[in-house]
């Protein structure tokens, strides 16, 4: 893990955020995500970002380790940044070489997109770091409950989600083991040009897929052996309730939302 | 057995997930030497640091402190890492983690080609490795390795490592899931390879197996070495309960020996 945390990984803890009901946390994430996606102005996004990063420190979450874990994703963010710089041609030209042009608007747009995506990943980390995959699935089940009217299979969806979330670290672990087995047989995943690196991946991906299919089959058999049937009304071993902390948390993000609307209105005026 | 050390650990430590909430110290100031031609068993209960230790030998994990020498050389650059991995062959517990080719033949020559052998030479070495282990190369060469049974897959995995002729062989839990016939074949293979001058390191919880084939034993407990010496004196001097604490069962022949001694002393007292 190179000293970083995997995205989607749960870190056990006992701070305020851990005591919040997963449903409440999910609604908070949806609200903040909507604000991040709706905001087009760079300054407002920066304010939202500063607020989100402050929350990491207030809740005593390992911010540095999360940033280290984002190394692999930063590569895709940089590609998006570069594409937006060169595809936006409006605004004052800051740099020009042959057909390549960097404009002021292009730079602002690229920065906005970069920060927006970065914040979305950070927001996702805030949820997954502090909530067990099973609880996230429970939260989704509750959120999607009204969709039952349209015969949407909510319970099956929640089960699928919880299985998928549960197996992310297992698959990463498995990938590490396969990588070690192939590295010790002379495979090199780190050096060479882009094509050489892509071509070095089948020894990694084939065992990973084969083992995943085996595992999926084993899970299906184990579930059937315990008489699992889809579509049934299920009860939960741990019942998650709402506490005073939840009310406080709810009013906190409600006030963020109100402040945001007031801020945007004034800013537009 | 020669007196030349092939593996030297000097005050080696390793910490997983450094500077994260998951930080775990897996090994702490480990020092030992393994001589050329020795069969060394690495033992300890689950989580004692055995797998971490063997992974550091061929630099799948890089030690956080201390020095590791293989054949008198410190391999610490990207340039010589392939040379190191050619010297140290590692046989993992689960063959499913390494098998990926469409035929057994391709699977067996994969590592040889990666280490710079020509196809013909790699094939020749693969056949030799299969003969060494009693695995019928001609019968299996065109078969899809994914269609083989668990035991056959394990044989393919072992032969694919033997095929590039590493000087040092590391077996991670080689006896797990083997039936008696498989166990005998494995024992014969290890002794044969050792007879050919190979240094062998194995992780195992099977005390009878270790007692029968290893010259030396390194026992780990909670990231530190608790015993490093001859297998025989370990088996002789450690009681059944002490060994159980370390994740091992006392070998049958030593239990018999203990009982015999006890009976003798009782008779003398009478």
Phi–psi pair at B25, nearest 5 degrees: -85, 115
The set of long-range contacts for A68-74, using a CB threshold of 8 Å and a minimum separation of 24, is A68/A2, A68/A3, A68/A4, A68/A5, A69/A1, A69/A4, A69/A5, A69/A6, A69/A7, A69/A9, A70/A4, A70/A7, A70/A118, A70/A121, A71/A2, A71/A4, A73/A7, A73/A121
Predicted confidence at residue B211, as pLDDT, reads 92
Cβ under 8 Å to B: A residues 165-224? 174, 177-178, 180-188, 190-191, 202-203, 206-207, 210-211, 214
Q: Which residues contact A23 (CB under 8 A, 6 or more apart)?
A: A138, A139, A142, A143, A240
pLDDT band at B142 (very low <50, low <70, confident <90, very high): very high
Nearest to B98 among A12, A185, A188 (CB): A185
SS3 A214: helix
Q: Which residue of B has its CA nearest to A173?
A: B97
Nearest to A62 among B20, B55, B161 (CB): B20
Q: Which residue of B has its CA nearest to A66?
A: B20
CA B264/CA B266 separation, integer angstroms: 5
Q: What is the DSSP string of B134-188?
A: T--HHHHTTS-GGGS-HHHHHHHHHHHHHTT--SEEEEESTTTT--HHHHHHHHH
Give how far Cα A66 sits from Cα of A5, A81, A205, Å: 5, 21, 26
Residue A238 has pLDDT above 70, yes or no: yes
Average pLDDT value for residue range B95-120: 91
Predicted confidence at residue A6, as pLDDT, reads 63
> Taking phi first (over 0 means left), then psi (-120 to 50 degrees means alpha), and beta for anything else, what does residue A61 get?
beta
Residues of B with CB under 8 A from a CB of A: 17-22, 55, 58, 60, 78, 82, 85-86, 88-90, 92, 94, 96-100, 110-111, 114-115, 146, 160-161, 164
Task: With CA atoms as reference, report the closest residue to B99 among B87, B89, B112, B111.
Answer: B111
Predicted confidence at residue B248, as pLDDT, reads 87
CA B130/CA B140 separation, integer angstroms: 10
What's the gap in Å between the CA of A59 and the closest CA on chain B?
14
Percent of chain A with pLDDT over 90: 27
Q: What is the residue-averaged pLDDT of chain A?
A: 85
Contact B117, B123 (CB under 8 A): no
Predicted confidence at residue B1, as pLDDT, reads 62
CA B11/CA B32 separation, integer angstroms: 9
Predicted confidence at residue B257, as pLDDT, reads 82
Residue A3 has pLDDT above 60, yes or no: no
Predicted confidence at residue B203, as pLDDT, reads 94
Chain B residues whose CB is inside 8 A of the A191 CB are 78
pLDDT digits (tens, 9 = 90+) for A181-213: 999 998 888 777 778 777 888 888 889 998 899
Q: What angle do CA B145, B149, B153 make, to 5 degrees?
A: 50
pLDDT digits (tens, 9 = 90+) for A35-77: 999 888 888 899 889 999 999 999 888 888 888 878 778 888 8
Predicted confidence at residue A5, as pLDDT, reads 59
Chain A residues whose CB is inside 8 A of the B88 CB are 184
CA B248/CA B48 separation, integer angstroms: 13
CA A33/CA A40 separation, integer angstroms: 13
Contact A3 B111 (CB under 8 A): no
Q: Which of A62, A64, A170, A184 to mutate to test the interface with B (most CBs of B within 10 A)?
A: A184
pLDDT digits (tens, 9 = 90+) for B162-215: 999 999 999 999 888 788 888 898 999 999 999 999 999 999 988 899 999 999
Contact B22 A185 (CB under 8 A): no
Look at A63 and B38; give whichever has higher pLDDT.
B38
SS3 A21: coil
Residue A2 has pLDDT above 50, yes or no: no
pTM, 2 dp? 0.78
Query: CB of A252 within 8 Å of any CB in chain B?
Result: no
What's the gap in Å between the CA of A74 and the closest CA on chain B?
20
Contact A101, A89 (CB under 8 A): yes
Nearest to A211 among B89, B96, B115 (CB): B96
Q: Which residues contact A162 (CB under 8 A, 6 or more apart)?
A: A133, A134, A136, A137, A138
Note the residue count of chain A.
269
Predicted confidence at residue A237, as pLDDT, reads 78
Q: Which of A11, A175, A185 to mutate to test the interface with B (most CBs of B within 10 A)?
A: A185
Predicted confidence at residue A269, as pLDDT, reads 59
Predicted confidence at residue B18, as pLDDT, reads 81
SS3 B259: helix
Contact B218, B40 (CB under 8 A): yes
Q: Which residue of B has its CA nearest to A1?
A: B17
Average pLDDT value for residue range A144-170: 85
ipTM of the complex in this document = 0.85
SS3 A203: helix
Contact B19 A64 (CB under 8 A): yes
Residue B227 has pLDDT above 90, yes or no: yes
Cβ of B227: how many Cβ atoms within 10 Å?
A: 19
Contact B157, B91 (CB under 8 A): yes
Q: Which residues contact B186 (CB under 8 A, 6 or more apart)?
A: B174, B175, B178
pLDDT band at A1 (very low <50, low <70, confident <90, very high): very low
């Amino acid at each position: 893990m190179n000293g970083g945390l995997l995205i989607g990984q749960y870190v056990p803890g006992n701070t305020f955020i851990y005591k919040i009901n997963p449903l409440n946390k999910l609604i908070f994430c949806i609200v903040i995500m909507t604000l991040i996606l709706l905001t087009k102005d760079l300054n407002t996004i920066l304010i939202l970002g500063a607020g989100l990063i402050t929350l990491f420190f207030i809740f005593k979450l390992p911010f540095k380790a999360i940033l280290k874990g984002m190394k692999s994703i930063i590569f895709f963010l940089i590609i998006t940044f570069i594409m937006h710089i060169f595809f936006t041609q409006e605004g004052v030209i800051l740099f020009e070489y042959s057909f390549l042009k960097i404009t002021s608007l292009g730079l602002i747009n690229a920065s906005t997109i970069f920060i927006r995506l970065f914040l979305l990943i950070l927001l996702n980390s805030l949820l997954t770091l502090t909530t067990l995959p099973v609880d996230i699935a429970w939260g989704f089940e509750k959120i999607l409950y009204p969709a039952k009217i349209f015969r949407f299979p909510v319970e099956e969806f929640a089960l699928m989600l919880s299985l998928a979330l549960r197996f992310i670290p297992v698959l990463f672990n498995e990938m590490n083991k396969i990588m070690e087995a192939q590295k010790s047989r002379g495979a090199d995943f780190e050096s060479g040009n882009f094509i050489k690196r892509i071509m070095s991946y089948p020894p990694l991906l084939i065992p990973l897929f084969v083992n995943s299919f085996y595992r999926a089959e084993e899970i299906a058999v184990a579930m059937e052996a315990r008489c699992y049937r889809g579509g049934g009304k299920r009860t939960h071993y741990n019942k998650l309730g709402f506490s005073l902390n939840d009310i406080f948390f709810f009013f906190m993000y409600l006030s963020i939302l109100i402040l945001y609307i007031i801020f945007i209105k004034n800013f537009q005026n | 057995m020669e007196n030349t050390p092939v593996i030297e650990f000097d005050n080696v430590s390793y910490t997983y997930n450094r500077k994260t909430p998951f930080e775990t110290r897996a090994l702490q100031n480990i020092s030992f030497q393994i001589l050329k031609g020795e069969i060394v068993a690495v033992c300890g209960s689950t989580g004692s640091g055995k797998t971490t230790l063997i992974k550091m030998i061929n630099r799948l994990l890089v030690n956080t402190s201390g020095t590791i020498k293989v054949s008198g050389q410190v391999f610490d650059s990207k340039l010589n890492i392939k040379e190191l991995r050619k010297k140290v062959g590692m046989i993992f517990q689960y063959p499913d983690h390494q098998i990926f080719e469409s035929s057994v033949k391709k699977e067996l020559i994969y590592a040889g080609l990666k280490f710079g052998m020509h196809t013909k030479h790699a094939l020749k070495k693969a056949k030799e490795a299969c003969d060494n282990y009693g695995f019928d190369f001609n019968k299996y060469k065109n078969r899809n390795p994914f269609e083989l049974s668990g035991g056959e897959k394990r044989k393919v995995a072992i032969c694919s490592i033997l095929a590039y002729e590493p000087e040092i062989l590391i077996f991670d839990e080689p006896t797990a899931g083997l039936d008696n016939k498989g166990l005998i074949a494995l024992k014969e293979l290890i002794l044969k390879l050792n007879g050919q001058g190979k240094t062998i390191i194995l992780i195992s919880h099977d005390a009878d197996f270790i007692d029968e084939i290893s010259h030396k034993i390194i026992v780990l407990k909670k990231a530190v070495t608790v015993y490093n010496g001859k297998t025989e004196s370990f088996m002789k001097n450690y009681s059944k309960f002490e060994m159980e604490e370390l994740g091992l069962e006392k070998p049958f022949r030593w239990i018999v020996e203990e009982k015999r001694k006890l009976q003798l002393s009782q008779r003398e007292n009478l």
